[in-house]
Amino acid sequence: MTKPSEPIPDPVEAAGDAVFRRPLTTVDVVILTIRAGSLQVLLVQRPQQAGEPFPGRWALPGGFVDVARDRDLQACALRKLAEKTGVDSPYLEQVGSWGSATRDPRGWSTTHVYVALLPDETLALQKGGNAADLRWAPVEGEGVAMPLAFDHAVLLGAALHRVRGKTEYTSLPAHLLPSAFTLGELQHVYELVLGRSLEKKAFRTRMLAGGMLEDLGAQKETGRRPALLYRLREQAGLVYFTRSFEQR
Amino acid sequence: MTKPSEPIPDPVEAAGDAVFRRPLTTVDVVILTIRAGSLQVLLVQRPQQAGEPFPGRWALPGGFVDVARDRDLQACALRKLAEKTGVDSPYLEQVGSWGSATRDPRGWSTTHVYVALLPDETLALQKGGNAADLRWAPVEGEGVAMPLAFDHAVLLGAALHRVRGKTEYTSLPAHLLPSAFTLGELQHVYELVLGRSLEKKAFRTRMLAGGMLEDLGAQKETGRRPALLYRLREQAGLVYFTRSFEQR
DNA sequence: AGAATAGTGTCTCTTAGACACTATTAT
DNA sequence: ATAATAGTGTCTAAGAGACACTATTCT
């Protein structure tokens, strides 16, 4: 790690006006997947050492931006994600940023929150890796059952709100599935994310009309009637539908 | 957090030296209004002094978070807004954050972008205030005609994309109008923001069905047939419609 | 045959788009 | 009367919800 020349006066503080102390800058990642029949979020346990804030509490994976290593905020989020899961190309979206004098006892801090959606299958790698201080927690309502460190309950709530919002009118939940899936599995994922059931015919019509799915011509053997397998067509982002799912 | 066992005693306390140098932290505000028949954005001219980045270029209003004055990021955005316009309670929404090693020549920096929507009328105050280094620029397509400092063209583009997106399915553009307005004026604002015309009957049906408007029982005298005046009903946020406006 | 899941047919309801029509003002 | 803008009536099309129906597999 090369050491940048630090003793040089800060050009910003040298620029005249009041001295602007710099806030702490972190990135936190809300990593979601479908596991064991529910939507789950990856948490890390904070170190037990004295002097650490929230020792032993569960928290979102994240940490300080490393200006020597991270080219930009998204690269920092991808680094955190890869460190915890081994996954390097998930669906990744920025949720927003939170900054205040009080959210971190160590001082004025801002965090940049990203949400990543992973298929469960890609996680086989990670399970062998580290560590007892990592766990998946099922999402219940707007968050998880245990208290979280810092304002992470708020950050998680915002990420879930974003994901649920987009689930109403985009193809987003498809990124929680492996590359080949059936329409039944896709509908099940939508229902898990939204926490309510959807009408089968309307769901299928919408998904097939969206033009985002490619029929793989293969079938999934499930023990009952086999279902057609689809995959997401090659395309940059999400498909947006012009109508939301409606109430109930 | 990064690695549990870091050889440095406390990375935060060490934040002045090589390990976790803190990025610069700024807030930029995209201030939009309807003026002279078009959507316009407020720009400030960067100082001409040598040593300043982008001297003389136009830029979004913004600047460093002042950890001594700003309670949180939104308070910082409101402060910047009030400094430039005198307005203190606009529609204000966070667009996102941008951070990288290269976006500011002075070093690794992050900015937090907010968008504010103002009725033109509230700006009478500001016109008397300062200053020759402030101007309104008409929005053309994804941005403005002149080049902007830093990556502000990208930030402005993202804010416009957000505003246009929400214009398709929320009551957002109403915040660009004074508190009393006619449906014709409201439709005109939607059309200016979207850059395309909307069908009158469909527009009126949607707005009135949304339940967000309150009939003031008064009429606006325009020289032709007077139109009913409405105002936004008291409510926290936006009204979301379950369908987008559709193409053309 | 019965269970279970995959997939379709078809009706109703809501709302956008199109567009012609009426209503109210000023000149 | 004419121009101009405000506001309505009404038809069509698309797609969501409801729900019953058929289809294909297993035991």
Q: Do A64 and B17 touch (CB under 8 A)?
A: no
> How many other C-beta atoms can be found within 10 angstroms of the C-beta atom of residue B164?
16
> For residue B198, is pLDDT > 60?
yes
- Are A163 and A174 members of one domain? no
Tell me which residue in B23, B67, B97 faces A67 most closely, judged by beta carbons.
Answer: B23
Give the span between the Cα atoms of A248 and A31, in whole angstroms. Answer: 28
Structural Rg of chain B based on CA atoms: 21
The whole-number pLDDT of residue A20 equals 72
Give the span between the Cα atoms of A91 and A83, in whole angstroms. Answer: 16
Asked if residue A223 belongs to a domain, the reply is yes
Asked if residue B165 belongs to a domain, the reply is no
The whole-number pLDDT of residue A91 equals 95
CB-strand contact A201/D, under 7 Å: yes
Give the span between the Cα atoms of B65 and A108, in whole angstroms. Answer: 10
Q: What is the pLDDT of residues B22-64, one digit of tens each?
A: 999 999 999 999 999 999 999 999 999 888 999 999 999 999 9
The whole-number pLDDT of residue A150 equals 98
Note the CA–C1' distance, A153 to D4, in angstroms: 57
- Are A127 and A195 members of one domain? no
Note the CA–C1' distance, B176 to C13, in angstroms: 34
Contact A230, A214 (CB under 8 A): yes
Asked if residue B199 belongs to a domain, the reply is yes
Note the CA–C1' distance, B141 to C24, in angstroms: 38
> For residue B123, is pLDDT > 90?
no
CA atoms within 13 Å, Cβ hemisphere of B73: 29
Length of chain A: 248
CB within 8 Å of A7: residues ≥ 6 apart: none
> How many other C-beta atoms can be found within 10 angstroms of the C-beta atom of residue B51?
11
What average pLDDT does this structure show over B101-117?
Answer: 97
Asked if residue A5 belongs to a domain, the reply is no
The whole-number pLDDT of residue A124 equals 44
**What CATH number is given to the structural domain containing A58?**
3.90.79.10
Give the span between the Cα atoms of B174 and B167, in whole angstroms. Answer: 9
In chain A, which residues have pLDDT < 50? 1-18, 124-129, 248
Residue nearest to nucleotide C8 (CA to C1'): A201
Q: Do B73 and A99 touch (CB under 8 A)?
A: yes
Contact A20, A13 (CB under 8 A): yes
The whole-number pLDDT of residue B247 equals 59
Asked if residue B222 belongs to a domain, the reply is yes
Chain B residues contacting A via beta carbons under 8 Å:
1-2, 4, 10-12, 15-25, 51-52, 64-68, 70-73, 94, 96-101, 106-108, 110, 112, 242-244, 246
Tell me which residue in A96, A99, A112 faces B72 most closely, judged by beta carbons.
Answer: A99
> For residue B122, is pLDDT > 80?
no
Nucleotide nearest to A245 (CA to C1'): D16
- Are B22 and B120 members of one domain? yes
- Are B19 and B71 members of one domain? yes
CB-strand contact A226/D, under 7 Å: yes
- The CA-atom distances, in angstroms, between A130 and each of A61, A85, A115, A156, B230 are 14, 9, 22, 23, 61
The whole-number pLDDT of residue B189 equals 97
Range of the domain at B181: 170-232
- Are A156 and A104 members of one domain? yes
Going by the DSSP 8-state scheme, the letter that residue A88 receives in this structure is -
> For residue B14, is pLDDT > 60?
no
3-state secondary structure of A183: helix
Instruction: Kindly identify which residue of chain A lies nearest to residue B246, measuring between CA atoms.
Output: A242
> How many other C-beta atoms can be found within 10 angstroms of the C-beta atom of residue B13?
12
Give the span between the Cα atoms of A19 and B35, in whole angstroms. Answer: 37
Segment (H or E) for A134: strand A134-138
Give the span between the Cα atoms of B109 and A25, in whole angstroms. Answer: 10
- Are B119 and B205 members of one domain? no
Asked if residue B116 belongs to a domain, the reply is yes
Instruction: Write out chain A residues lying below 8 Å of B83, CB-based.
Output: none
Note the CA–C1' distance, A182 to D24, in angstroms: 16
> For residue B132, is pLDDT > 70?
yes
Closest among A192, A185, A172 to A239, alpha carbons compared: A172
Asked if residue B123 belongs to a domain, the reply is yes
Q: Do B72 and A6 touch (CB under 8 A)?
A: no
Q: What is the pLDDT of residues B156-170, one digit of tens each?
A: 999 999 999 999 999
Sign of CA dihedral B180, B182, B183, B186: negative
Tell me which residue in B64, B106, B110 faces A73 most closely, judged by beta carbons.
Answer: B110
Note the CA–C1' distance, B227 to C26, in angstroms: 14
Q: Do B1 and A108 touch (CB under 8 A)?
A: no
The edge-to-edge listing of strands for the beta sheet with A227-232 is: A181-182, A227-232, A213-220
- Are B60 and B150 members of one domain? yes
Phi, psi of B201 (to 5 degrees): -65, -45
- Are A84 and A182 members of one domain? no
Asked if residue A3 belongs to a domain, the reply is no
Q: How many separate domains does chain B show?
A: 2
CB-strand contact A21/D, under 7 Å: no
Domain end (from A167, A183, A213): A167
